[in-house]
Amino acid sequence: MMTPEDPNTQIKQNAETAPDSSATRLWNKRTARLVPYVPGEQPRGQTFIKLNTNENPYPPSPEVLNALSNFNYEQVRLYPDPTGLSLRQAIAAYYGLTIDQIFAGNGSDEVLAMAFQAFFETVDGPAKPEQEIVFPDITYSFYPVYARLYDIPYRLVRLGDDFTLPVADCLAPSAGLVLANPNAPTGRAIDIAQIAELAAADRNRLILIDEAYIDFGGESAVALLPDFDNILIIQTCSKSRALAGMRLGYALGAPALIEALRRVRDSFNSYTLDSLAQAAGAAAFGAAEWFERTRSLIIQTREKTARALRDLGFVVIPSSANFLFVSHPKISGADLYSRLRQAGILVRHFNQPRIKDYLRITVGSDENMAELIRVLQRLLV
Ligand code: PMP
């Protein structure tokens, strides 16, 4: 059965939106070769319980509301601060870092793209293993898209059957490592001792740690920054700070790594962060109480939901993120995805060989998850 996550459907959708015109002859070869990332559905019209893109079920903090309501609209007449200084100061204060260790950008997807461009090498012709970057076979599906966009050769390291990372396999020579911690879409985290081991193995290769979901239970590699200038951490305000619509991402690392990102950014657009987003982001980092309260609510709801799902016979991968990766022995992933959709619950299904029987379910509010469990009870009888 076809789902919106089915690569074939995606290609079809892309073909349908592609202009039916011979002007595609004007595309360069790389554009013609691209297979763009397809984000989770943002439905229009129909109301779903939306558990498909790992958004926060709670609103941003009152401090953010305050910053937005007090924002002087006349200010948008002017260009924003190209350095994002007040936001970077707020992030620096939160992490105990200096502002030259922080780069802020328009969503972590964009910061990731800049990092691929800044640190990894394009190779003409067949690449040697040490010229390839490495990431897991099951991880954030944007990584191979960036690699293809910039012609960066890559190879995949195969996760174990339980989706654990074989750290030893990541020690082999390579041009860089890209690891989501916790991993997406599995939710599994690695501990920072393992990241330290990988960073120490070759200080001439960059380890890019994508910590989009770190606030939901993982251990941040920020503690390793004093010892390793070859670790770059990328985080986002989209998940734990409930600002997905603002598009705010940031990188933490050695000043020279931050400078590299700035060089890339300032070679195509000096103003990637708008002034409203900067104000909201700075306020979000000052909202400690709201942040702690909402993230611990999400963690509690996750654990409660995981237990309820296990009681229904689901295999639930231990998650340190704001989503659960689950499968059920009696029903295929594609089937369950469409039955939930019919019942008004949107989750994410990836039609890839090793994970096609899994669903990634965002942790919503307690009420959302209670409804999910009720619907599943009904579907599974
Ligand atoms: N990294 C991972 C692992 C993600 O799942 C996402 C969300 N799709 C992102 C990065 C990007 O988040 P954003 O661009 O909203 O900051």
Protein residue closest via CA to atom 8 of ligand 1? 53
By the 8 A CB rule, do 103 and 258 touch?
yes
pTM above 0.75?
yes
Q: Cα–Cα distance between 232 and 230 in angstroms, integer?
A: 7
What pLDDT is attached to residue 18?
56
pLDDT digits (tens, 9 = 90+) for 261-306: 999 999 999 999 999 999 999 999 999 999 999 999 999 999 999 9
Which strand (E) or helix (H) includes residue 177?
strand 176-180
Any idea what the Cα angle at residue 38 is, between residues 32 and 42, rounded to 5°?
140
pLDDT digits (tens, 9 = 90+) for 164-202: 999 999 999 999 999 999 999 999 999 999 999 999 999
pLDDT digits (tens, 9 = 90+) for 56-106: 999 999 999 999 999 999 999 999 999 999 999 999 999 999 999 999 999
Is the CB of 180 within 6 Å of ligand 1? yes
What pLDDT is attached to residue 44?
84
Per-residue tokens: 174: 């390579």
Pairing relationship of beta strands 358-362 and 323-327 according to DSSP bridges? antiparallel
Residue 381 — very low, low, confident or very high, per pLDDT cuts 50/70/90?
confident
Protein residue closest via CA to atom 12 of ligand 1? 108
Is the CB of 206 within 6 Å of ligand 1? no
Residue 130 — very low, low, confident or very high, per pLDDT cuts 50/70/90?
very high
Is the CB of 212 within 6 Å of ligand 1? yes
Question: How far away, in angstroms, is 104 Cα from ligand 1 center?
Answer: 14
Q: Which of 10-14, 33-37, 293-297, 331-335 has the lowest mean pLDDT?
A: 10-14
Inform me whether the pLDDT recorded for 16 exceeds 70: no
Is the CB of 281 within 6 Å of ligand 1? no
| Cα–chain center distance at 240 | 12
What pLDDT is attached to residue 17?
56
Q: Cα–Cα distance between 40 and 51 in angstroms, integer?
A: 10
pLDDT digits (tens, 9 = 90+) for 205-235: 999 999 999 999 999 999 999 999 999 999 9
Is the CB of 305 within 6 Å of ligand 1? no
Question: How far away, in angstroms, is 45 Cα from ligand 1 center?
Answer: 25
Q: Tell me how far CA of residue 112 lies from CA of 116, 118, 142, 143, 232, in angstroms.
A: 6, 10, 9, 8, 10
Question: How far away, in angstroms, is 373 Cα from ligand 1 center?
Answer: 26
Question: How far away, in angstroms, is 381 Cα from ligand 1 center?
Answer: 35
